[in-house]
Structure 1
Amino acid sequence: MARCLVTGATGYIGGRLVPELLAAGHEVRCMARSPDRLRDHPWAVRTQIVRADAADPGPTRAALEGVDVAYYLIHTMGGSGQFAENDRRAAETFAAAAAQAGVRRIVYLGGLVPDERLSPHLRSRAEVGEVFLRGGVPAVVLRAAVIIGSGSASFEMLRYLTERLPVMTTPSWVGSRTQPIAVRDVLRYLTAWASVPAEVNRAFDVGGPDVLTYADMMRGYAAVAGLPHRVIIPVRVLTPRLSSLWVGLVTPVPSGIARPLVESLRNNAVCGEHDIARYVPDPETGLIGFRDAVSLALKKIKEADVATRWSSASTPGAPSDPLPTDPGWAGGSLYIERRAIRVDASPEALWQVIESIGDRNGWYSLPTAWRLRGLLDRLVGGVGLRRGRRDANRLRVGDAIDFWRVEEVRPGRLLRLRAEMRLPGLAWLELSVARSAGRTVYRQRAIFHPHGLLGHLYWWGISPFHGLIFGHMPVNVAAAAARREAAQPSRPPAGRDHLTATPDAGRSSVPGGGPGAG
């Protein structure tokens, strides 16, 4: 068991490395300039968190005291033109402090360095790696190209470009060759170096089994995601600056991150060796291929992903899953609409209305619109509203309700339905019971995950009907609950008034709701 220090724990790799180290039995200390940013991580209570800036010698030296292995996962992606000098000085300060503290090994994750003219950010990453290799502590420098995993800036840019552009004119760098690597393999390498006994001071190229062009990766992503074949037309006149503006127009990835990524993509980035396997052997099943890595990152969006991914409700189950602390533009597009209303009824009466929704009781808003949506679904081969429900008053997971399927039931609290009508995407409807200031509250959440450009067009095409359909539901559900309560007058009314009827952009999109979307 090693005592490990992780810098950059608020970032993409660091936030996923900490639980991997803990699972391997190591002690973990996290060093952060803003420790409060770590409090939302479920693993925070199992670590020691210290406040320090890598460029500040005193606090950094104190943070490294008693540490065996120090992970340096700090790198500037945007900002001023002084970023390279700032990164170098921070690395020099950290290396010196590690030597003074008696650290046994430094592990640094940098970029794969091609034998070509480097972009400023790749040059800076290479320079930081050299600082550690020349320092007084043995260092392992892992050099990776594109990391495939939900939340990775490189992967998110690939995701949005591919999903939103069925036909695209692209810069010439789509022909550059690269060797992408799954985030699971990156974390496996990083975690292993906390236990490798040999004294090693060198850099290692790390990559997956596939060498692809960026165009190959876009087509491969489309195939895994079930999207039509992407037509890619390279245009050589687009400079890195123009390319980053183009990426910023098409995707929600900030331009300050998109530009260094684009500048790096103009270079070929293929591993020149695989010597790391002498110290960290490949798994028996081999390294994860590109398409398998994409599949793990997408996971075909199941109910559990919605709960963890967009409500920050629990811990992701794998390194390739999104984290609640990932940036708002990560994780793919999602449209969400939330509504809430106070109810003149007990929670029990409200739940009875929720649990009996659908079939003969209807959906508490514009019955004609719901019947029309069911008819349209049947015309395109869907199930429509003809299925009804198994029991008029009780639900269990797996039950069908018209063109919905019960995905989760928490009696008295939550009903989550997954849409089974024909849609260019995935949709859910959540109905829940809560208490606020001693009053009963009905909450409603409609969720839509679009599939490709057609999914976005579908959502915006039905957006004029969102307010009509979902706006009436809370009022009518509350009224039905009040009537139930009045039929059994055993409690004083809780009082009813509107709380909210507000949309939420979710991870990266503009919200709404409609009968076909959730």
Structure 2
Amino acid sequence: MTGATGYIGGRLVPRLLAAGHEVRVLVRRPERLRDVPWAASAEVVAGDLADADAVDAAMADVQAVYYLVHSMGGRGDFERTELDIARTVAGAAYRNGVGRIVYLGGLHPEGEKLSRHLRSRAEVGEILLASGVPTIVLQAGVVIGSGSTSFEMIRHLTEVLPYMPAPRWVRSFIQPIAVRDVLHYLIAAADVPPEVNRAFDIGGPDVFRYGQLMNGYAVEAGLPQRPIAALPVLTPWLAGQWVNLVTPIPRRLAVPIIESLQYDCVMHDHDIDEVIPPPAAGLLPYRTAVRLALEREREGEVETSWRNAEVAGAPSDPLPSDPDWAGHTVFVDERERMSRATPAALWRVIEGVGGENGWYSFPLAWALRGWIDKLTGGVGLRRGRLDPDTLHVGDAVDFWRVEAIERGSFLRLRAEMRVPGRAWLELSASGGSGGSGGSGASAGSRYRQRAVFFPRGLAGRLYWWSILPFHGVIFSGMANRITAEAEADERV
């Protein structure tokens, strides 16, 4: 399995395990899977898909390979990178005698000049089909499920604007498919006879214009239907900026989605039915899929989300240890506070930072920083977090990502906002006497907070010095409010 930390892959692995398969996942950072419920039941292998030796080793004794990776936010010559990786996977699968490759691609029209991202996905499928390994390419359009990028985009576009001045693509025909049904096809694809080597379109039972998708969401969410005016002047790039501003979807994800919406994306045939029959209960209608997604979100049962996708261009290397800083320029802001709250109460506040709870200091400054990030194409603060109370390694928290967590005592967040350098924020709770966190309350607790910034060139240094006057307010206020909140929560 490749892409196990992604939206589809993270849902597919536990279902394959439940179906009785043994699953091996190849990921660059295994610690991202440390806290997922199925981690102990799967074999987790560290490796990069660009490393041919690592891919070869991972495919030893494998019967089927799921290829579920795609650089939605890729920059520069991402197409070449995508094709090189596909060739590496195809070659390794052939050499290791793999019996089946399953690839999830994008639904697209025939004979059209495709966007870079749709073209890349189609070319990856062609490489895998020519690998000499029996391959099935499943081509899906808009995927509807709790936490999916497409669903979140429809939801926020509908909820934010009571009147919708929209680009021409709201008139395009779309055939959405429920994430449940995508998983059905993916699971069954592993057992398709070896003579099958082709691409298949998959989609739900409904075909709507994109504007109808938004109003279908409005009905299920109990909102008035939105009048929509299609404007011919918004290019995909301009529409990407607009979606970036009015929804939590960052520009790196919005632009490729919008580019794909320039076309009518509907199934050309239903040949898939001859190879993989639809689910016994039938394919989910669009509004039913929306209703189920909303119910799961209300019940806090979102398995995976676009929020936890890696941000292209953001630093992914972990924070070097302090001794490794020698000889490097590094800026640090450290704060420490004593609290009457227990370490456990203090930790609950630390683990709950971000999202609806905010950052406990100068909300206007944090909001402004979030808007600046959005305007420059970043993720902004509205990405929020998947779970309001619990964090795991790899989780997104607004424009941060959880890099390390020692539950009950230590949290390190890595910045994914647009900054000229690399930044981290560390929050920790310990016993008041300096010992480790626990339940003992007699000595209270000690709160430590550290912001670390590795500047990149002169721009990085100027950035740090420009925000230095605000640190006394933001970081000091954050330390004060977090310890006060812990004491208040404990009294309650």
TM-score range, shorter chain: 0.5 to 0.7
Q: Would you say 1:19 and 2:14 are equivalent positions?
A: yes
Matching residue of 2:35: 40
Matching residue of 1:78: 73
Matching residue of 1:352: none
Distance 1:99 1:473 in 2: 58
Distance 1:300 1:189 in 2: 22
Given that 2:184 and 2:279 are in contact with CA atoms closer than 8 Å, whether structure 1 keeps it comes out as no
Given that 1:32 and 1:51 are in contact with CA atoms closer than 8 Å, whether structure 2 keeps it comes out as yes
Matching residue of 2:153: 157
How do 1:210-359 and structure 2 match up within 5 A? Answer: 210-299=206-295, 301-302=297-298, 304-305=299-300, 316=303, 325=308
> Cα–Cα, structure 1 residues 75 and 474, in superposed 2: closer, same or farther, change >3 Å?
closer
Deviation at 1:51, TM superposition (A): 1.7
Structure 1 stretch displaced more, 128-137 or 152-161: 152-161
Q: Would you say 1:176 and 2:172 are equivalent positions?
A: yes
Alignment-mate amino acid for residue 156 of structure 2 = Y
Q: Would you say 1:167 and 2:138 are equivalent positions?
A: no
Alignment-mate amino acid for residue 32 of structure 2 = R
Distance 1:71 1:253 in 2: 26
User: 1:190 is matched with which residue: 186, 189, 197?
Assistant: 186
Instruction: Figure out how many residues of one structure are paired with residues of the other and give that number.
Output: 338
Alignment-mate amino acid for residue 86 of structure 1 = T
Q: Would you say 1:7 and 2:2 are equivalent positions?
A: yes
Q: 1:131 aligns to what SS in structure 2?
A: helix
Instruction: For residues 364-405 of structure 1, give each alpha carbon's deviation from its aligned partner in whole angstroms, at most 9, with x where no partner exists.
Output: xxxxxxxxxxxxxxxxxxxxxxxxxxxxxxxxxxxxxxxxxx
Distance 2:68 2:149 in 1: 15
Matching residue of 1:438: 440
- Unmatched 5+ residue regions in structure 2? 312-337, 345-430, 432-436, 446-482
Matching residue of 1:95: 90
Given that 1:151 and 1:326 are in contact with CA atoms closer than 8 Å, whether structure 2 keeps it comes out as no
> Cα–Cα, structure 1 residues 134 and 142, in superposed 2: closer, same or farther, change >3 Å?
same
Instruction: For residues 29-80 of structure 1, give each alpha carbon's deviation from its aligned partner in whole angstroms, at most 9, with x where no partner exists.
Output: 0011222222121111111111222222111111001000000011111232
Distance 1:151 1:239 in 2: 27
Q: 2:273 aligns to what SS in structure 1?
A: helix
Deviation at 1:475, TM superposition (A): 6.8
Q: Would you say 1:207 and 2:203 are equivalent positions?
A: yes
Alignment-mate amino acid for residue 76 of structure 1 = S
> Cα–Cα, structure 1 residues 327 and 57, in superposed 2: closer, same or farther, change >3 Å?
closer
Matching residue of 1:148: 144
Distance 2:80 2:485 in 1: 58
Identity %: 52
Given that 1:342 and 1:439 are in contact with CA atoms closer than 8 Å, whether structure 2 keeps it comes out as no
Alignment-mate amino acid for residue 258 of structure 1 = A
Q: 1:286 aligns to what SS in structure 2?
A: coil
Deviation at 1:197, TM superposition (A): 3.5
Distance 1:43 1:111 in 2: 28
Distance 1:256 1:327 in 2: 11
Given that 1:141 and 1:204 are in contact with CA atoms closer than 8 Å, whether structure 2 keeps it comes out as yes
Structure 1 stretch displaced more, 283-292 or 132-141: 283-292
Deviation at 1:89, TM superposition (A): 0.9
- Unmatched 5+ residue regions in structure 1? 1-5, 310-315, 329-340, 348-433, 443-470, 482-518
Q: Would you say 1:124 and 2:120 are equivalent positions?
A: yes
Alignment-mate amino acid for residue 244 of structure 1 = G
Q: 1:70 aligns to what SS in structure 2?
A: strand
> Cα–Cα, structure 1 residues 323 and 48, in superposed 2: closer, same or farther, change >3 Å?
farther
> Cα–Cα, structure 1 residues 472 and 60, in superposed 2: closer, same or farther, change >3 Å?
closer
Deviation at 1:322, TM superposition (A): 5.1
Deviation at 1:324, TM superposition (A): 8.9
Deviation at 1:284, TM superposition (A): 3.1
Structure 1 stretch displaced more, 99-108 or 189-198: 189-198
Matching residue of 2:474: none
Instruction: For residues 442-477 of structure 1, give each alpha carbon's deviation from its aligned partner in whole angstroms, at most 9, with x where no partner exists.
Output: 9xxxxxxxxxxxxxxxxxxxxxxxxxxxx9998778
Instruction: For residues 247-286 of structure 1, give each alpha carbon's deviation from its aligned partner in whole angstroms, at most 9, with x where no partner exists.
Output: 0110111111111111110111000111111121112321
Root mean square deviation of aligned Cα = 2.9
> Cα–Cα, structure 1 residues 118 and 326, in superposed 2: closer, same or farther, change >3 Å?
closer
Deviation at 1:290, TM superposition (A): 0.4
Distance 1:15 1:189 in 2: 15
Matching residue of 1:408: none
Distance 1:475 1:124 in 2: 53
> Cα–Cα, structure 1 residues 65 and 228, in superposed 2: closer, same or farther, change >3 Å?
same
Structure 1 stretch displaced more, 88-97 or 156-165: 156-165
TM-score (norm 2): 0.64
Matching residue of 2:395: none
How do 1:460-475 and structure 2 match up within 5 A? Answer: none
Given that 2:67 and 2:102 are in contact with CA atoms closer than 8 Å, whether structure 1 keeps it comes out as yes
> Cα–Cα, structure 1 residues 475 and 283, in superposed 2: closer, same or farther, change >3 Å?
closer
Matching residue of 2:475: none
Distance 2:228 2:25 in 1: 43
Alignment-mate amino acid for residue 49 of structure 1 = V
Given that 1:40 and 1:325 are in contact with CA atoms closer than 8 Å, whether structure 2 keeps it comes out as no
> Cα–Cα, structure 1 residues 175 and 143, in superposed 2: closer, same or farther, change >3 Å?
same
Instruction: Name which one, 1 or 2, has greater alpha-carbon Rg.
Output: 1
> Cα–Cα, structure 1 residues 474 and 136, in superposed 2: closer, same or farther, change >3 Å?
closer
Q: 2:38 aligns to what SS in structure 1?
A: helix
Distance 2:287 2:132 in 1: 41
Deviation at 1:196, TM superposition (A): 2.8
Distance 1:224 1:344 in 2: 44
